[in-house]
Amino acid sequence: MRFPKSTIKLSFFLIIFSHLLVTAQDELLIVTESSQSCSFDTQKLNRLVKNDSLYKATILINEAISYSEKYNLKSTLAKAYYNLGKVLTKMSNYKNAEDYHLKAYNIYNSSNDSMGKNLVLSGLVNTYLSSKNDKKFDSIYPIAQQLSKSLNSELYFVNLQFKIKKHYYNKHNKELLQLSEFAINTIENTDFNNLEFSDNYDKSELKNKLLYSYRFNNAIASIKASNLLPESFRLLFTIDEEKLQLAFEDDFDEFRKLGTFNYYKYLYYTEAVKDLDSANKYLLKADSYKYTALADFENRNARNGELIYKIINTQQKLNLTNELRKNDAKSSKVFLAIAILASVLLLLTLVVFYFYIKAKRNSQAINLALKASNRKLVANDKDRQEFFSILSHELRTPVYGITGLATLVNQETDKEKQQTYLESLISSSNYLTILIDNILQANRLRFEQRNLRLKPEKLENIINYVTSIIKISAKDKGLKFITKIHYYQTNELLLIDKVAFSQILINLVYNAVRYTKEGEINLNIIEKARNENNVTLRFEVNDTGIGIKEEHKDIVFNAFENKAFLHKNSSGSGLGLHIVKTLLKSHKSDIDFVSEPGKGSSFFFEITFEIAASLKLKKPVTINSSINNTHVLIVDDNKINLLITKKNIEKINGYTCETTTSGKLAISMVKSRAFDLVLMDINMPDMDGYDVTKHIRLFNSTIPILALTALNSNEVATKAQAVGINQIITKPYIFDDFKAIVLLYTTEEETEYKHQIALETI
């Protein structure tokens, strides 16, 4: 007699499946009292969810659903549907969560179980809040609250918390303030012992958690609604941070909210009492919580994606198994019984032996991987600690120089000495700007690819800009800075990303200045090849500095890893060359260097630029800088920035200006007065520059609006273009560039060059 192959395979699978099923019986979420009566173990499920054992919870709930459907246990089935919806919400699988909540609601509704409907409605409110589905939230919330209130249920206060979270997420500060005050008054005047509870809560603990959450949101809303008035911070300092942390322990936004709590304390000590030591303490705490929140968010997303895949994969396997069982059941019952009886002992022996060997090997592999990972983490942590120690020194040095030199300029009466101090002050300021730009650029390049914004530009203009930045620092060290251009069409326009390419040259030349004690720095530009559409240029930065040893050659371009070289030779941050190499990848180029210790180094790279032949001007563009009666509106909430911009406008012959710190007032001024140009800050407290521009464009579509901002990203440029901002000017800027753009947008002649200017930073 010969057994069918499909029967043997099915027998093997069912033996394993039967073993697993027997093993899982002790972990079911339903306690069977009889075939027609059982109870659902909610406490056990809550423990699994709290411990993030979501996959195990989902499997057990599905077993409870199968059992309830088999014996037609409607009440238990409704509880299982509701709890599966709750677990899926925590896993961010909102569509399926909504479906299971609605299944549970239909069962409770058909059996007139009001407390069950109350529970499911609260679950739906949480699902719509988590998925940011405001429309469905607003439709279901009043229904849930009406039922909770009629049942005298504790879910009335839980739903209130969901509504408060919605206002908090959507920055509805006035509504948040009113609702949180109402919630505090209501919960303080409510005896929780008299409420009807939907679960076995610790009543006192639940009340305290909800109350502290209400108080936190009320404190934040008070501060925001008052525009950071000092007295509005009073409520914030009445909240105990440890109790607040306990209140947020089950909230997925726990660390972000604790970071916000400390950040507003930082604002208080910064804006109100000017206590910088306390402000820095709370800023460090806020940053620590926010970094933890970011890591938690990334880990949860990765884990949820893996859990959903495992659940779907398990469901598919179960479906396949059921299908095979149905197809072969009629023809293989006898053979199945014989196969099970004949192979059970051998199979159990083989399975035990197999899993023993596999577990042993896995354990050894995991131990080795953990040891290697631990060593790497310890080394990385040490590297970063050393890097931030260097960075702290690098930031303090120019800040101290700027503060000291500003004092000397104020005290000195000798004009020549004043000029010397001013040049040193500009050098320290330039260094601090480049250092901060490098830190931000290094962080941004980790998370997004640098997309080049190619615009027509003369290479000579960029070289002049780089020279103006570097020459003072070179002069302070007594170094000669020489630029040699062997490029035969310096007046032609090239398609070039001015910001990215300037950063490459500035970092390279600054690197040469930093490592050179005496001698000279040379920047050479050499034309290597040319055709009708493209020109290839070679850029070299030569110095007479300390040079680089051969063993350091492989690490000088790596952020965080070049400390061995830095500690011995310079106090630099170590980010400049890393950023140069990264930005050159966007230009489809790479950098290399030759060096001899004690004699100097030469860094070089080549880039092929497209010649903007089709965009060349048909006639020279002249801008009349003596235009009279040009009136400019400057909008900026920072008074120092407002003063600087105002003075720069007044330097231009024939230009006058008005200023305002309010976005709302700016809209009224543009409506009621005649302005030729608007200079708009982006970040403002009452109404940001995007919203102000959108309102202005509703009644005035022609007035040029230029954004003055310290922000610099593709996202900012895209958003600015969408609302109708003509161009972005990034602070800090060179006055001559600023003046040229202002003149271009206020001349009456529509030049061809003006149409070539797109949204970009300068």
Low-confidence winner among 136-145, 157-166, 563-572, 620-629 (lowest mean pLDDT): 563-572
Topology of the domain comprising 19-151: 1.25.40
Average pLDDT of the residues in 282-294: 79
Peptide bond into 732 cis (omega under 30): yes
Provide the mean pLDDT of the chain: 78
Highest mean pLDDT pick, 17-31, 86-100, 356-370? 86-100
What's the pLDDT at 29? 63
Residue 151, Cβ density class (10 Å: 0-12 exposed, 13-18 middle, ≥19 buried): middle
Per DSSP bridges, beta strands 630-635 and 655-660 are parallel
Does 757 score more than 70 pLDDT?
Answer: no
pLDDT digits (tens, 9 = 90+) for 577-594: 887 888 888 888 999 999
Does 741 score more than 80 pLDDT?
Answer: yes
The values of phi and psi at residue 39, to 5°, are -125, 155
Highest mean pLDDT pick, 104-118, 366-380, 576-590? 104-118
Does 331 score more than 50 pLDDT?
Answer: yes
Compute the Cα dihedral for 270, 272, 277, 281 and give only its sign. Answer: negative
Does 669 score more than 90 pLDDT?
Answer: yes
What's the pLDDT at 448? 47
What's the pLDDT at 305? 54
Please state, in angstroms and rounded to a whole number, the distance separating the CA atoms of residues 371 and 343. 41
The values of phi and psi at residue 684, to 5°, are -135, 150
Does 698 score more than 90 pLDDT?
Answer: yes
Does 680 score more than 90 pLDDT?
Answer: yes
Q: How sure is the predictor about 19, in pLDDT bands with cuts at 50, 70 and 90?
A: very low
Please state, in angstroms and rounded to a whole number, the distance separating the CA atoms of residues 649 and 166. 44
Low-confidence winner among 169-173, 293-297, 671-675 (lowest mean pLDDT): 293-297
Residue with tokens 């709370």: 282
Average pLDDT of the residues in 439-445: 55
Average pLDDT of the residues in 190-203: 83
What's the pLDDT at 659? 94
Chain centroid to CA 425: 34
Instruction: Determine contact, residues 602/595, Cβ cutoff 8 Å.
Output: yes
Share of the chain above pLDDT 70, in %: 73
Structural element, H or E, at residue 176: helix 173-188
DSSP annotation string for 584-647: HHHTT--EEEEEETTTEEEEEEEEEEEE-GGGS-SS-----TT--SEEEEEE-S-HHHHHHHHH
Instruction: Determine contact, residues 165/8, Cβ cutoff 8 Å.
Output: no
What's the pLDDT at 710? 74
Does 568 score more than 50 pLDDT?
Answer: no
Collapsing DSSP to helix, strand or coil, 526 comes out as strand
pLDDT digits (tens, 9 = 90+) for 306-316: 555 555 555 54
Does 621 score more than 50 pLDDT?
Answer: no
Which tokens belong to 695? 């309102």
Strand partners, 39: 31
Instruction: Determine contact, residues 230/272, Cβ cutoff 8 Å.
Output: yes
Please state, in angstroms and rounded to a whole number, the distance separating the CA atoms of residues 736 and 529. 32
What's the pLDDT at 39? 65
What's the pLDDT at 2? 46
Average pLDDT of the residues in 617-636: 66
CA-closest candidate to residue 245, choices 284, 216, 221: 216
Average pLDDT of the residues in 314-328: 53
Average pLDDT of the residues in 392-417: 66
The values of phi and psi at residue 351, to 5°, are -65, -45
Q: How many CA atoms lie within 13 A of 343 on its CB side?
A: 18
CA-closest candidate to residue 441, choices 291, 565, 580: 580
What's the pLDDT at 675? 94
Low-confidence winner among 20-24, 243-247, 255-259, 338-342 (lowest mean pLDDT): 20-24
What's the pLDDT at 635? 95
Average pLDDT of the residues in 631-642: 90
Instruction: Determine contact, residues 621/751, Cβ cutoff 8 Å.
Output: yes
Residue 159, Cβ density class (10 Å: 0-12 exposed, 13-18 middle, ≥19 buried): buried
Which tokens belong to 195? 């409420």
What's the pLDDT at 594? 92
Strand partners, 633: 658, 678
Give the other-Cβ count within 10 Å of 349's Cβ: 10
Low-confidence winner among 407-421, 640-654, 685-699 (lowest mean pLDDT): 407-421
Low-confidence winner among 451-455, 647-651, 667-671 (lowest mean pLDDT): 451-455
What's the pLDDT at 617? 44
Average pLDDT of the residues in 712-721: 79
What's the pLDDT at 286? 78
pLDDT digits (tens, 9 = 90+) for 92-110: 889 999 999 999 999 999 9
363-to-53, 357, 369, 370, 375 alpha-carbon distances in Å: 21, 10, 10, 10, 18
Q: How sure is the predictor about 702, in pLDDT bands with cuts at 50, 70 and 90?
A: very high
Higher pLDDT: 632 or 575? It is 632
Give the other-Cβ count within 10 Å of 408's Cβ: 16
- The answer to whether the predicted template modeling score (pTM) of the entire model surpasses 0.75 is no
The conformational region for residue 548 under phi > 0 = left, psi -120 to 50 = alpha, else beta, is beta
Domain residue ranges in the chain: 19-151, 430-615, 630-756
Q: How sure is the predictor about 752, in pLDDT bands with cuts at 50, 70 and 90?
A: very low
Does 472 score more than 50 pLDDT?
Answer: yes
What's the pLDDT at 695? 94
Does 421 score more than 70 pLDDT?
Answer: no
Q: How sure is the predictor about 390, in pLDDT bands with cuts at 50, 70 and 90?
A: low
Higher pLDDT: 294 or 128? It is 128
Does 324 score more than 70 pLDDT?
Answer: no
Residue type at 376 in one-letter notation? K
Please state, in angstroms and rounded to a whole number, the distance separating the CA atoms of residues 611 and 456. 8
What's the pLDDT at 160? 92
Instruction: Determine contact, residues 390/563, Cβ cutoff 8 Å.
Output: yes
What's the pLDDT at 618? 41
The values of phi and psi at residue 30, to 5°, are -115, 135
CA-closest candidate to residue 647, choices 628, 667, 632: 632
Does 713 score more than 70 pLDDT?
Answer: no
pLDDT digits (tens, 9 = 90+) for 350-364: 888 788 888 888 878
Instruction: Determine contact, residues 731/709, Cβ cutoff 8 Å.
Output: yes
What's the pLDDT at 521? 93
Does 751 score more than 60 pLDDT?
Answer: no
Average pLDDT of the residues in 260-279: 82
Which tokens belong to 737? 């560039």
For 630-756, the fitting CATH number among 3.40.50.2300, 3.40.50.970, 1.10.540.10, 3.60.15.10 is: 3.40.50.2300
What's the pLDDT at 431? 60
Instruction: Determine contact, residues 139/98, Cβ cutoff 8 Å.
Output: no
Which tokens belong to 581? 């190499």
Average pLDDT of the residues in 21-32: 50
Angle (CA) 549 554 558, round 5°: 115
Does 494 score more than 80 pLDDT?
Answer: yes
What's the pLDDT at 525? 92
Q: Could you tell me the end-to-end alpha-carbon distance of the chain, in angstroms, rounded to an integer?
A: 86
Does 438 score more than 90 pLDDT?
Answer: no
Higher pLDDT: 407 or 700? It is 700
pLDDT digits (tens, 9 = 90+) for 509-541: 988 888 898 999 999 999 999 998 899 999 999
What's the pLDDT at 383? 55
Which tokens belong to 175? 């509504």
Topology of the domain comprising 430-615: Heat Shock Protein 90 (3.30.565)
Per DSSP bridges, beta strands 37-40 and 30-34 are antiparallel
Does 260 score more than 80 pLDDT?
Answer: yes
Does 42 score more than 70 pLDDT?
Answer: no
Give the other-Cβ count within 10 Å of 376's Cβ: 10
Higher pLDDT: 156 or 732? It is 156
